[in-house]
A = this chain, B = another copy of it.
Amino acid sequence: MGYEALKQRVCEANKAISRAGLAILTWGNASEVDRAAGLFAIKPSGVDYDVLTPDDIVLVSVESGERVEGELSPSSDSATHAELYRCFAGVGGIVHTHSCAATAWAQARRGIPCLGTTHADHFYGEVPCTRALTREEVEGAYELNTGKVIVAHFEKHGLDAAQMPAVLVACHGPFVWGTNAAAAVTSGITLEEVARMAQLTFELAPEVGPVDDHLLDKHFLRKHGAEAYYGQRG
């Protein structure tokens, strides 16, 4: 008891990734964390979005990655979510999909450079692409190791998860996040659109480079910085 609102939000976020075209069949999952309780709510594995109900949502321990409540098995990607919640303190919700355009970049093993203000409004620089996992990482605790490779990439490149709410796992696809599950869905929608635009841009201008830092700063910070002025302020 006590997690009904959380399960309701996570159920809705999972339906939202289907409605937004980010996931077909059962190819995606959304979660949201309750930091105080040390658990997160996540989609059960292999269940269709249109029959999903809040009661189906599974609760998983952040620390162990193990199920703590729910009849169904949690998403097979739960260990990745758990690792990201453990290491990225400000993250409140996570979405994983195989959305088409973003996955194409992951399969090409390329990060998505910031080519315009659409990108700069949400992602503070190039959306990174990790290395592929090694044989040992794949044959071992694969989903946990996926999380570890993401975190290591952010640490190695000095990336801040609060300013870069997305990553492409090479040969796999995107993980995105936000302050809660709904915000993570917004990151997923934005990433897919930015990936599509960047693909078209490179077809028109293969040699194009990222935007100037002053434009990136302006757009990211007018929405996300301390002096943000986009949207309605209290």
Interface positions of A (Cβ within 8 A of B): 24-27, 44-47, 72-73, 76, 98, 100-101, 103-110, 115-118, 132-133, 135, 138-139, 142, 171-173, 186, 189-190, 193, 196-205, 208, 211-212, 214-215, 218, 222, 229-233
Contact = CB atoms under 8 A, between A and B. Distances in A.
A109 B172 contact: no
Contacts of A133: 215
B108 A171 contact: no
Nearest to A208: B108
Nearest to A104: B200
B46 A231 contact: yes
A203 B110 CA distance: 12
B189 A24 contact: yes
Given A46-B230, A117-B173, 14 more contacts: A76-B229, A98-B118, A100-B197, A103-B118, A104-B197, A105-B204, A109-B205, A116-B171, A117-B172, A132-B212, A142-B218, A142-B222, A202-B204, A203-B203
A221 B186 CA distance: 32
